[in-house]
Amino acid sequence: MARLYLESWAPGFGSPVEADQSLPPSEVEVDPAVEVDGAWEPLPGLDDGVRSIAFVDGVRRIDARLTVFDADDDSGLPIPGLCASYAVGATVWQRGPAPRSTYEQVAVHRIAVLGRGRAEQMPQVRGLAYATESTEGEDDDQLTAHVQTRMRQAEGACAAVLAQAGHFVVADGPINEFAPQQVIGYIKTHHRSYLGPAEAGCVAALRPGERTPMFRINPQAKFQRYSWYVRLAAVPFGHAWSGVVRCESAFALGRDEARKIADRTAAILPLVAPPLHIDPRAPQNLVPIAALEKHLRHQLGDAALVERALRAALHAPSTSAEQEAAAR
């Protein structure tokens, strides 16, 4: 029987079950039998007392739009560009008798991206270091995607550093490092079920703190990884997939290590999921990640001040000839 449900997220944030454009559409092959043979049953999580967990995330902001106008260019058309800032970092949760969290590895990057492969250089901006990059893309989405890619790379590097430092890393979004490290990808939204109808029933049966058995994505292809679903919280008036997130870990970790990690996430992630009323993306937007995002946004600096600095840099007479012209 069909029924209508209201999603728990504030509408401005989309829906936890809407299509996520960033996932490559080729990933369809799934092997559901890597952990259990036969019918799936919910598995209880297990907190193995991991000492510290690092939640890695990034934020980005378009600071300003640029346009390159080259009178010598044959097309005579303006070339788009943009200035963007992104920040990545982690909330490191030290567990133990006196638990506390700190922000670590926080870094702010600023780039100017020029379309159509233009090699012009951004002038010096006072107090802000913009690196100039170019991309072949020409429209806004492609420029933004370039920034997004840079941010994802920075997140990946941050996660790797923290994993090497001995932390268990929960990185926002799918993983893009496939080395055997203690990093899981944390995916808040579901654009498709990787599971067949038989296994999908197990997701519906999950209670908070339980997970589905692991399955293997792309068993034959390059980006192999383990994945599983975890229910963070029982969402009142929710449907079968409310309050469910998907996690993934590198296939290279090996099945036993991946299972240990999966058990751990099922037990620990519900602890740090926010109650519905305090976050517009509850329960999926974990408390350490939400706090980190706020902190990172603050690190980006005041948007108006950044824009003013950019304006000052680009409007300043840059050559002596221009200075003379301005003086006249």
DSSP H/E element including 131:
strand 130-134
Among 103, 142, 223, 276, contact with another protein (rule: CB under 8 A)? 103
How far apart are the C-alpha atoms of 178 and 39, rounded to whole Å? 29
Among 196, 201, 219, 275, contact with another protein (rule: CB under 8 A)? 275
**What minimum distance in Å lies between the beta carbon of 308 and another protein?**
19
Q: Is 304 in the site for another protein (CB under 8 A)?
A: no
Q: Is 294 in the site for another protein (CB under 8 A)?
A: yes
DSSP H/E element including 287:
helix 287-299
**What minimum distance in Å lies between the beta carbon of 55 and another protein?**
8
How far apart are the C-alpha atoms of 184 and 210, rounded to whole Å? 17
CA angle 281, 287, 291 (to 5 degrees): 100
How far apart are the C-alpha atoms of 326 and 316, rounded to whole Å? 10
Residues in the interface with another protein (CB under 8 A) total 20
Among 93, 130, 186, 251, contact with another protein (rule: CB under 8 A)? 93
Q: In this chain, which stretch among 32-40, 59-67, 238-246, 285-293 interacts with another protein, using CB under 8 A? A: 285-293
Q: What is the DSSP code (8-state) at residue 218?
A: S
CA atoms within 13 A on the CB side of 101: 18
Q: Which residues contact 315 (CB under 8 A, 6 or more apart)?
A: none
**Closest Cα to residue 248, out of 262, 260, 237?**
262
Q: Is 107 in the site for another protein (CB under 8 A)?
A: no
**What minimum distance in Å lies between the beta carbon of 208 and another protein?**
16
Among 291, 297, 303, 314, contact with another protein (rule: CB under 8 A)? 291
Q: In this chain, which stretch among 88-96, 148-156, 158-166, 207-215 interacts with another protein, using CB under 8 A? A: 88-96
Nearer to another protein, 11 or 97 (CB): 97
Q: How far lies 220's CA from each of 24, 26, 196, 216, in Å?
A: 16, 12, 18, 10
Nearer to another protein, 103 or 178 (CB): 103
Among 23, 27, 62, 95, contact with another protein (rule: CB under 8 A)? 95
Among 12, 25, 76, 99, contact with another protein (rule: CB under 8 A)? 99
Q: Is 49 in the site for another protein (CB under 8 A)?
A: no
**What minimum distance in Å lies between the beta carbon of 101 and another protein?**
4
How far apart are the C-alpha atoms of 293 and 300, rounded to whole Å? 11
Nearer to another protein, 247 or 272 (CB): 272
Q: Is 91 in the site for another protein (CB under 8 A)?
A: yes
Nearer to another protein, 100 or 328 (CB): 100
Q: Is 162 in the site for another protein (CB under 8 A)?
A: no
Q: In this chain, which stretch among 1-9, 158-166, 228-236, 284-292 interacts with another protein, using CB under 8 A? A: 284-292
Burial class (CB in 10 A: 0-12, 13-18, 19+), 150: buried
Q: Is 43 in contact with 216 (CB distance < 8 Å)?
A: no
Structure tokens at 27: 């990933």
Burial class (CB in 10 A: 0-12, 13-18, 19+), 186: buried
**What minimum distance in Å lies between the beta carbon of 93 and another protein?**
5
The contact set with another protein (CB under 8 A) reads 91, 93-95, 98-103, 271-272, 275, 278, 287-288, 291-292, 294-295
